Amino acid sequence: MTAMSTSEAVMASTPRAPLPGVWRISLSRGGVELKSFFRERQSVVFILALPAVMLVLLGTIFGGEHTGPGVSIGDLYVAGLIGGGVMATSYQNLGMSVAFDRERFTLKRLRGTPMPAAAYFAGKVIQVLVAAIAETVVLGGVGLAFYHLRLPASLAAWWTFTWVFVLGVAACSLLGVAASSVVRSAARNGVAVITLPFVVLQFISGVYVPFYLVPPWLRDIASVFPLEWMCRGMRSVFVPQAVTLEPGHSWQHGQTALALTAWIVAGLVLCLTTFRWQNRRDR
Amino acid sequence: MTTEWAVRARGLRKRYGGTVAVDGIDLEIAPGEVFALLGPNGAGKTTTVEILEGYRDRDDGEVSVLGVDPQRAGRDWRARIGIVLQLASDAPELTVAEMVSHFAGLYPDPRRPAEVIELVGLAGKARARIHTLSGGQARRLDVALGLIGRPELLFLDEPTTGFDPEARHAFWDVVRVLSGGGVTVLLTTHYLEEAAALAGRVAVLRDGVIVAAGTPADLGGRASAAAVVSWHGGDGWRSERTEEPTRVVGELAARYGGEVPGLTVTRPSLEDVYLDLIGGRQ
């Protein structure tokens, strides 16, 4: 076996420099993705700025109302929109950008180079992580400046934040990549396929409307999808005193981790079975 | 495995559903050659090239590109080929220099980005965002991205569609420079004059099969085809079809005692041959 692969290597070898490493190419992809994202007005406005604008608006209109012991609606909005912002920067962002990459032949062009496929996705991961962190910082800043957001003091709460953030980004990114395959043209049906389901989920998952005000049957539907669990996790971190408003008076961290992990597995399977380097009509 | 040919295909076949796109093509391209696949839209050019590029799997036949089956090729092989895509329009917010440098980083032994940008005539636009480029400039960027990895084999798919004549001639010069440097070029085009200007050999594709192959000069037997000698007789235009035009002209010269009125000697033009081959005159 070893002898065979050695002789194959000798046959294939030409006096050429070694291929650049996956990590180096991944970082280079990440740089290109970040430049493209932050230079595109469309993505900065609709993905980065929109949740912050919504937070200011909703908080201004409803934020002063108190809903329970030491809980204002404004506090709930900060936590909910952080959850929504994480999904915007992962699911919505990737759903559209991968569809554009397919439509504008970025994927096809890269496929014709020695870039390893993993580096393309690594570049997306870098871009999504930077955007999601930036989004969370912006929303947290708005919360600190205009509402009564208190940053968690305990290490346990930061740990919760970290795993909810990471699992949420992973699940929503995979779903975004999978959803991009349904988009025939980002400009024509991207909004219907990517944005519309996301807006509906934000209304029923505790982003635009406090979760305890959502009718129970809609809450049950919301609980099928990852966004509800991400918002719940964020509430447990940033508004821990609101636990009395939660269904079952519990944050259900175990179920949150389970639901998000299940979506990661489902999203991965969807990506592996549906991902295409070219548009369907080009086949 | 032999690397004697840069590209070698035997009995290449591909169908989409019930439609046969490529119906048994044989192809051999020598290292350093500029080879043109010529044919109307829908003749199977792009399918053939995309199989050779590794983008599509064939249904049947044998293919070897730089000694490797593209269907099983890996990163090493992709580092040795360059592909200039049709109508790419990605990364609108990057600058030309950023895009070319990024692609340089994907290859083991790239050309210098500034040198390639200069070669394709975009030096003045290196810092421009890609979305501000004109159609012809964007196409030249596509060419730059195909060249940056120092390919041994370059695929050019309809490279000058939408170019004005000046840009087309400038682009041909780039191809000649590359070819002079030993790069093998596989060109698809539906412009006859492009194939004639660049290619050492041409194959004409029609309905998924090669209907003629050869040098542009003798494609379809053009060099040995009968010539037509025409002149103006006293009562109107006369013409004679002949295998020996020189003899006919000599006789005419003797008959008129010098200058023959309105004399022309023509062989079928490349365009005549081509239109006959692709059935454009049916």
- Per-residue pLDDT of B126-177, as tens digits, reads 999 999 998 888 888 999 999 999 999 999 988 887 777 887 888 899 899 9
Those residues of chain A whose CB sits closer than 8 Å to some CB in chain B are 11-12, 14, 16-20, 24-25, 28, 31-32, 35-36, 39-40, 101, 104-106, 108-116, 278, 283
pLDDT (0 to 100) of residue A133: 96
| Contact state of A19 with B103 under an 8 Å Cβ cutoff | no
**ipTM of the predicted structure?**
0.85
| Contact state of B105 with A39 under an 8 Å Cβ cutoff | no
Distances (CA, A) of B139 to A117, A275, A281, B194: 25, 28, 22, 16
| Contact state of B106 with A109 under an 8 Å Cβ cutoff | no
- How is chain B split into domains, by residue range? 7-219, 227-266
Q: How many CA atoms lie within 13 A of B50 on its CB side?
A: 20
Identify the H or E element spanning B188.
Answer: strand B184-189
Q: Does domain B7-219 have CATH number 3.90.1300.10?
A: no
pLDDT (0 to 100) of residue B282: 44
pLDDT (0 to 100) of residue B62: 94
Q: Give the least confident one: B58-62, B145-149, B275-279.
A: B275-279
Q: Give the least confident one: A188-197, B63-72, B115-124, B146-155.
A: A188-197
pLDDT (0 to 100) of residue B213: 87
**β-sheet bridge partners, residue B16:** B19
Place of tokens 């608006």: A57
Q: How many CA atoms lie within 13 A of A48 on its CB side?
A: 21
pLDDT (0 to 100) of residue A179: 92
Place of tokens 């909810």: A164
- The average pLDDT across A43-62 equals 87
| Contact state of A35 with B94 under an 8 Å Cβ cutoff | yes
Which residues of chain B does A126 touch, with a Cβ-Cβ cutoff of 8 Å? none
| Average predicted confidence (pLDDT) for chain A | 88
AA letter at B29: I
DSSP letter at A276 equals: -
For strands B201-206 and B209-214, give the pairing.
Answer: antiparallel
Distances (CA, A) of B184 to A49, A69, B6, B35: 50, 76, 7, 8
User: Distance between alpha carbon B239 and the CA centroid of its chain, in Å?
Assistant: 35
What tokens were used for B273? 């041959």
- What's the CA gap between B276 and B282, in Å, rounded? 8
Long-range CB contact pairs, B233-238, < 8 A, 24+: B233/B261, B237/B262
Max mean pLDDT among A132-141, B241-250, B262-271 falls in A132-141
Residue A260 has pLDDT above 90, yes or no: yes
- H-state helical runs in chain B: 45-53, 75-78, 96-104, 113-119, 135-147, 165-180, 192-198, 245-256, 270-277
> Among all residues of chain A, which has the CA nearest to that of B79?
A114
Closest CA to A279 of A156, A106, A152: A106
| Contact state of B102 with A28 under an 8 Å Cβ cutoff | yes
The band of A41, judged by pLDDT with boundaries at 50, 70 and 90, is confident
- The average pLDDT across B258-266 equals 88
- What's the CA gap between B277 and A212, in Å, rounded? 75
pLDDT (0 to 100) of residue A244: 86
AA letter at A108: K
Q: Which residues contact B161 (CB under 8 A, 6 or more apart)?
A: B86
- The average pLDDT across B220-228 equals 74
Distances (CA, A) of B177 to B25, B120, B158, B171: 29, 11, 18, 10
Q: What percent of chain B has pLDDT over 90?
A: 50
- What's the CA gap between B21 and B44, in Å, rounded? 5
Distances (CA, A) of B60 to B19, B37, B74, B184, B188: 15, 20, 21, 25, 22
Mutate which: B16, B19, B66, B75, vs A, most A CBs within 10 A: B75
B90 Cβ under 8 Å from any chain A Cβ: yes
Long-range CB contact pairs, A66-71, < 8 A, 24+: A67/A210, A67/A212, A67/A242, A67/A245, A68/A241, A68/A242, A68/A244, A68/A245, A69/A241, A69/A244, A70/A241, A71/A239, A71/A241, A71/A242, A71/A245
Q: What percent of chain A has pLDDT over 90?
A: 61
- The average pLDDT across A52-57 equals 90
Residue A281 has pLDDT above 70, yes or no: no
User: Distance between alpha carbon B117 and the CA centroid of its chain, in Å?
Assistant: 22
- The average pLDDT across A187-192 equals 80
- What's the CA gap between A9 and A28, in Å, rounded? 28
B83 Cβ under 8 Å from any chain A Cβ: yes
Task: Assess contact for A95 and A190: CB atoms under 8 A.
Answer: yes
| Average predicted confidence (pLDDT) for chain B | 88
Q: Give the least confident one: A193-197, A198-202, B116-120, B241-245.
A: B241-245
Q: Is A69 exposed, middle or buried (0-12, 13-18, 19+ CB in 10 A)?
A: exposed
pLDDT (0 to 100) of residue A75: 85
> Among all residues of chain A, which has the CA nearest to that of B70?
A112
Chain B closest-CA separation from residue A131 CA (Å): 17
Task: Assess contact for B231 and B240: CB atoms under 8 A.
Answer: no
| Contact state of B94 with A112 under an 8 Å Cβ cutoff | no
pLDDT (0 to 100) of residue A280: 59
- What's the CA gap between B233 and B236, in Å, rounded? 5
**Exposure string (b/e) for B129-159, b if CB count within 10 Å is 16 or more?**
bbeebeebbbbbbbbbbbbbbbbbbbbbbbb
For strands B7-16 and B81-84, give the pairing.
Answer: unpaired
Mutate which: B68, B75, B90, B99, vs A, most A CBs within 10 A: B90
- What's the CA gap between A118 and A131, in Å, rounded? 20
- The average pLDDT across A244-261 equals 91
